[in-house]
Amino acid sequence: IGLPGNGTIPAVDARRRGLAKDAGRTVMKLLADNVRPRDLINKESIYNALTVDMALGASTNSVLHLMAIAHEADVAFPLTLVNEISQKTPCLCKLSPAYIDEKTKYHIEDLDHAGGIPAVMNEIKGLLKLNLKTATGRTLAENIAGSQVIDSDVIRPIDNAFATTGGLAILFGNLAPEGAVVRRSAVAPEMLSHRGPARVFDSEEEATKAIMGGAIKAGDVIVIRYEGPKGGPGMREMLTPTSLLSGLGIDNKVALITDGRFSGGSRGAAIGHVSPEAAGQGPIAALREGDTIVVDIPNYRLEVELTDEEIKRRVAQLPAFEPKVKSGYLRYYAEKVSSASTGAVFGG
């Protein structure tokens, strides 16, 4: 539903002003032709969006947003679809912070100069549904016709992809029965499989204090809970903890899991959207300091070395969750928002 180029043209580029004018004209034409978002957003277009995101190296937030859009459009979007698409979509880009080294530290403006999203789409056109109508009035195939990769270091060809699988993975297991998401394109190879002791914190602030105080050691698995849609409320981005880990140079030695979410600026073994969340009495609420957590990204698993019976026993002992906000809209939101596994939609 966006015009070609909208995702990458820098704000200070003169083309942005031209694109804004084109967008205004396009909106008025769509209105005159009675074309609604539901006419353009469907199962196939969401499939395309996720496929392109995988090729770009992906963002964990895109899963949340696409699920919410799918919910509004009455399109079924099971989390398992993410892994299905990821397994057959190569990762062609590694944009900061998901870079390999300083020589390959590319940013969005580099992607734009290399051909932008249309060039990426043209490179993976064999994986896309090309006959779909778009906001331009043309098909996707027509939109990307003639687009080409100008810099193959930024946008790699399929036969020289950064990875044969896409940028995201959904993990399941006794710690995330409804799923959790990780940007595997930003995870150091040595952290794709990890086993370590849980360091449990009930807020972002508690975890930040521990990291800054030097309490986190190599091999630890930081757990930040009660930061999900209900628990936050609102599912904050855990940008400060991940930035600290990166700045301290231990993002390749420490894992972080949370029922909150992450910024696109996060890197490392940062696993978010753990569902059910702690405020919904998910297994993450049962974790205690020192419990052994197993992260197995290649096999899409997130486990704690506890029996199902022990997890249930611990959860049953927990007091009923009490929202942090006691009145007003946010209290109502905390009561009505759905799990991150279904898009964290209000009233869902």
Catalytic residues: 263
Q: Rounded CA gap, 46 and 68, in Å?
A: 11
**Cα–Cα distances in angstroms (integers) from residue 168 to residues 86, 98, 232, in the given order:** 7, 12, 24
The C-alpha atoms of residue 346 and residue 348 are separated, in whole angstroms, by 5
Cα–Cα distance, 113 to 108 (Å, whole number): 9
Nearby residues of 128 by Cβ (< 8 Å), 6 or more positions away: 48, 51, 52, 121, 140
DSSP 297: G
Q: How far apart are CA 208 and CA 1, in angstroms?
A: 39
Give CA angle at 186 (45, 179), nearest 5°: 60
Q: What's the full length of the chain, in residues? A: 348
Angle, CA 106 vertex, CA 104 and CA 107 arms, to 5° = 165
